[in-house]
Amino acid sequence: MTSPKHTLALIPARGGSKSIPRKNILPFAGHPLIAWSIAAGRAAETVTRVVVSTDDEEIAAVAREYGAETPFMRPAEHSQDNTPDLPVFQHALEWLAEHEGYTPDIVVQLRPTSPFRRLWHINEAVNALAVRPEADSCRAVIVPFQNPFKMWTFGEDGLMRPLMKDTGFAEPYNMPRQALPDVYWQTGYVDAAWSRTIREKNSMTGDAILPLVIDPGDWVDIDSPDDWRRAERLFTEGVITEDGLGYRVETS
């Protein structure tokens, strides 16, 4: 087992959200949305540092209020609607290495849109890499609500075509679900990777990816106002509690 000395929790939070404007700092269950991910990162025993990558001064100020670091501002070219994760994380690692001489062993991505993140899932993802150092990354996955073997695309001729091809089954879409291979959906709830995967392989995952299988009921993701209302209701009705998550959200 490898013992990582430095694990960086990096929280990406740009200011230009379109689905819910300013969502990262809007009040959610009593605190700004981003505060929940900051609190989870700070409480995780496997995490040694929590940094927020943002292009927005107001988000940065809120992040600092809740105990995260904002040592840099993210450049505009890495803060667009279609910006993928990789350049955001490469920029953060390059800046920290150049300006602080700091290179973490492991990087954990904590997206603000998953506010109800169980503390032990962060620790499990980091520990999974420590046990299997030959792996490149670890991703949280769930059994999906729908099976891709029964999904379709539409051709230009208006006819349906199965999404899954060369499956080894003649007609998987006509088979009972129990006879089909197990499949899993990546949630974005917790993603962990060795920093070398990002720096040297230019990838958020690399090739050898460990699974962290979580209960679908533990995954709460906010992409729309309806998601927001449903998630907040889980907290106000006591279905989800801070004690159940393993940490409390507090200002520093």
Q: Provide the 3-class DSSP secondary structure of residue 69.
A: strand
Q: Which of 61-65, 158-162, 168-172, 218-222 has the lowest mean pLDDT?
A: 168-172
Q: How far is CA 141 from CA 125, 136, 184, in A?
A: 11, 16, 6
Residue 17 confidence class, pLDDT cut points 50, 70, 90? confident
- β-bridge partners, 10: 51, 109
Q: Across-strand partners of 106?
A: 7, 194
Q: What is the DSSP letter of 208?
A: -
**Per-residue pLDDT tens for 231-251?**
999 999 999 999 999 999 999
Domain range list for the chain: 7-144+184-245
CATH 3.20.20.70 at 7-144+184-245, yes or no:
no
Give the C-alpha separation, 170 to 143, whole Å. 24
- Which amino acid makes up residue 25? I
Tell me the sheet residues that pair with 162. Answer: 152
The backbone region for 188, taken as left when phi is positive above 0, alpha when psi lies in -120 to 50, beta otherwise, is left
Three-state DSSP class for 142? strand
How far is residue 10's CA from residue 33's CA, in Å, rounded to a whole number?
A: 15
Q: Is the pLDDT of residue 66 over 90?
A: yes
R_g (Cα) of the chain, nearest Å? 19
Residues 251 and 204: their CA atoms lie apart, in Å, by 30
Distance of alpha carbon 52 from alpha carbon 73, whole angstroms: 9
Given phi > 0 = left and psi -120 to 50 = alpha, else beta, which region is 144?
beta
- pLDDT score of 93 more than 90: yes
Average pLDDT, the chain: 94
Which three-class secondary structure state does DSSP give residue 109? strand
**Residue 77 to residues 9, 13, 51, 202, Cα–Cα distance (Å):** 22, 14, 19, 18
Q: Is residue 36 predicted with pLDDT exceeding 80? A: yes
Question: Once rounded to an integer, what is the mean pLDDT over residues 195-217?
Answer: 97
Q: Give strand ranges (E) for the chain.
A: 7-12, 27-28, 31-32, 49-53, 106-109, 137-142, 152-154, 160-162, 185-194, 209-213
